[in-house]
Structure 1
């Protein structure tokens, strides 16, 4: 799944446009809940080593951070391409690598769940 496809999905189905708040990270896109102004998704490009314990892996990957229920975060992280959230609360957020074989339908469900979890 490409970064652009996910951005277009969020724009169309959640009514949220990407914001690029950090000049030093021009590819980091934040999506805010339109009614609550809180983040429900963040798309970034990071070194894979930031997510794994493999400090030698400097491959750059696109990820999306999504808010999830703490009860499911552990089981989600058992799936390929899902990690404790990069730069977010690891109990309530996960990072999903967008170029992995993560099921598209499940990603869309998680995007909507994250949107609904914002209070």
Structure 2
């Protein structure tokens, strides 16, 4: 799943358009609940070494909220990492490409939406 496919899914499923609140990081897309404005995801480019990977290309990442009891087992899967720059007990970072299947990414996004509602 690439970034645009993900953002299209979010618009179609939740009727949410991304918010770009930072001038310095104008490509960081915050996905917020329409009513109370809480984040349910953050989509952004990240240097791969910041996820603990070997130096390589910049990767598209999505931070999502997750259930603490699932965090450890989810982090055993390819493309799932301790959350970059977020609470590592409640948030995960997912690489959008070369990681989880699209259906798993969508399921985790749906769960994050529910958890932050």
Q: Taking structure 2 as the reference length, what is the TM-score of the superposition?
A: 0.95
2:2 aligned partner: 2
Runs of 4+ in 1 over 4 A off after TM superposition: none
What secondary structure is seen at the aligned counterpart in 2 of 1:111?
Answer: helix
Give the total of aligned pairs: 117
1:37 aligned partner: 37
Q: Tell me, which stretches of 5 or more residues in structure 2 are unaligned?
A: none
Q: Tell me, which stretches of 5 or more residues in structure 1 are unaligned?
A: none
1:16 aligned partner: 16
Q: Taking structure 1 as the reference length, what is the TM-score of the superposition?
A: 0.93
Output one character per residue of 1:60-94: Cα deviation in whole Å (capped at 9) or x when no partner.
00000000000001111100010001111000000
What secondary structure is seen at the aligned counterpart in 2 of 1:22?
Answer: coil
Partner Cα separation in structure 1 for residue 26 and residue 90 of structure 2: 25
Aligned CA-pair RMSD: 1.1
